[in-house]
Amino acid sequence: MVFSSAIFIYVFLPLTLLGFYFLSRRAGMVAGSLWLIAASLVFYAHWKPAHLGLLAASTLGNYLIGRWMQLWPAQSRRLLVFGVAGNLALLGYYKYAFFLCGQVLALPLESCGRLSGDLPLAISFFTFTQIAFLVDVAHRNVAALSLQRYSLFVTFFPHLIAGPIVHYHALAPQFEDGGRFRITAENLAVGGAIFTIGLFKKAVLADRFGAVASPIFAIADGTGTVSTPAAWIGAGAYTLQIYFDFSGYSDMAIGLARMFGIAFPENFNSPYKATSLIDFWRRWHMTLSQFLRDYLYIPLGGNRHGGWRRYLNLMITMLLGGLWHGANWTFLVWGGLHGLGLVLNNLWRQLYRPATPPGRVYMVGCWLVTILFVMLCWVCFRASSLDTAVKIYSAMIGLNPDGGTLPPQPPHMYLLMLAGVVVCLWLPNRQSCFAATVTGGKLFQLLRFRSDLIYTAVIALMLIASLVSVFRNASPEFLYFDF
């Protein structure tokens, strides 16, 4: 079940909100929390019920390890190693065993066939969330621990499928705060507006950009050739698609949590406005970047052992971050490219130390280099194989001047792509518009959230346009649901 599906919007969400509202008011917060746990399990099982047992076992197993770490602090280090190893083994078996068997070890497919089972939904996200929990317990950042709160922490449906990656010590206190964790008119209004903005990004923008990119990449996947204009349009369309897909999902997750009075960390902060690759990774998938920094880069040594060791740690972190997205050489190459880009970015900052702040021309040049690098890397991320990526890259540099024609597109599609660029680069982002205090020019003041008739009408129109798109797309899917 995805957030932009009709069954979620018209059935699951209203029933979940109503059930939580009445149970928490009449039977107490424990009953309301149990209702949310049950609803979240239904939400997860809707995709494939067979994997529900795996989620339940993972949740119970990690809870017990965390509890034992609190009861026997002298053994916490051993228990931490055991817990992290168990989580990684589970993730490795379901997500990487077939890849290692067939691609890395080059064993016959008949020997690897039994490892090619369906990938459990969201296994990367709930595994990383629980690894962070165990580390936090070991560092004594977790106080009181109960199975009910922990189960709700792991399964809470707004973040279960694709993040943001949250911490128990940040979320559990909110579940205990009866003055906050409840349905109110303000929570519904603010959360509903944020959800609608995210739904609009996903259903109206991202899905249409995907309709441009997918046929071009499909040609490259097959035996056809791609023309130079088609390659650039396909790369640009996917660059916009993944931006609005993940930005929309992040907004929808934050909005859904807010409906219940829960505050999620920000996960997306206008990354295409970045003027360096370092800045890009501080803005894109922020909770994953923080997880990789805190639980991989820093434990590897971070920047504490000199320059070359720092760059090696950075490359390892980005390679594993790329592989986290999927068991495919394309993700590994994508991560390696970003690792190399970050190394070069850090070296440039060491070599280039201007006496005065850089001018506008220099900063525009930095932005162009950054966005071009990110777009070229997205080609590898989107391609189903390295051969497909090579085809697209070859066409982009003009090696297929007589390639296939560009798949036909409605005339308004290119205007919509231009509008997408304007939204990415010029308009204030969602968190700026919903901040308690809004700083900026007249445009920021005009777009800031307020409970007046005009703003309500704009949100209503966005919701109507989104719902029309939802009806037209019978099988919506978020890109990050695959990871």
Q: Tell me the average pLDDT across 357-377.
A: 94
- What pLDDT is recorded for position 363? 93
- What pLDDT is recorded for position 106? 53
For residue 222, pLDDT beyond 70: yes
> What is the pLDDT confidence band of residue 432, given thresholds at 50, 70 and 90?
confident
Q: Which residue has the higher pLDDT, 419 or 354?
A: 419
Render pLDDT for 147-186 as a digit per residue (tens, 0 to 9): 999 999 999 999 998 879 999 999 999 998 888 899 999 9
Q: Which residue has the higher pLDDT, 5 or 476?
A: 5
The two structure tokens encoding residue 224: 């056809």
For residue 118, pLDDT beyond 60: yes
Q: Is 325 a catalytic residue?
A: yes
3-state SS string over 46-78?
CCCHHHHHHHHHHHHHHHHHHHHHHHCHHHHHH
> What is the pLDDT confidence band of residue 353, given thresholds at 50, 70 and 90?
confident
Q: Tell me the average pLDDT across 451-479.
A: 82
- What pLDDT is recorded for position 147? 93
Q: Tell me the average pLDDT across 387-398.
A: 93
- What pLDDT is recorded for position 113? 55
Distances in Å between the Cα of 259 and the Cα atoms of 194, 357, 458 are 10, 43, 20
Q: Tell me the average pLDDT across 344-372.
A: 91
- What pLDDT is recorded for position 15? 97
Catalytic residue among 51, 167, 285, 325: 325
Render pLDDT for 41-79 as a digit per residue (tens, 0 to 9): 999 999 888 889 999 999 999 999 999 999 999 999 999
For residue 483, pLDDT beyond 90: no
Q: Tell me the average pLDDT across 342-364.
A: 89
Q: What percent of the chain has pLDDT over 70?
A: 91
> What is the pLDDT confidence band of residue 266, given thresholds at 50, 70 and 90?
very high
d(CA 222, CA 218): 6
For residue 388, pLDDT beyond 90: yes
- What pLDDT is recorded for position 326? 86
For residue 282, pLDDT beyond 90: yes
- What pLDDT is recorded for position 436? 62
For residue 116, pLDDT beyond 60: no
CB 84 within 8 A of CB 131: yes
For residue 276, pLDDT beyond 80: yes
d(CA 28, CA 159): 24
For residue 111, pLDDT beyond 60: no
Across the chain, mean pLDDT equals: 88
Which of the residue ranges 10-24, 107-121, 338-352 would you say has the lowest mean pLDDT? Answer: 107-121
Which of the residue ranges 76-80, 89-93, 309-313, 434-438 would you say has the lowest mean pLDDT? Answer: 434-438
Q: What is the CA radius of gyration of the chain?
A: 23
The two structure tokens encoding residue 323: 């592989």
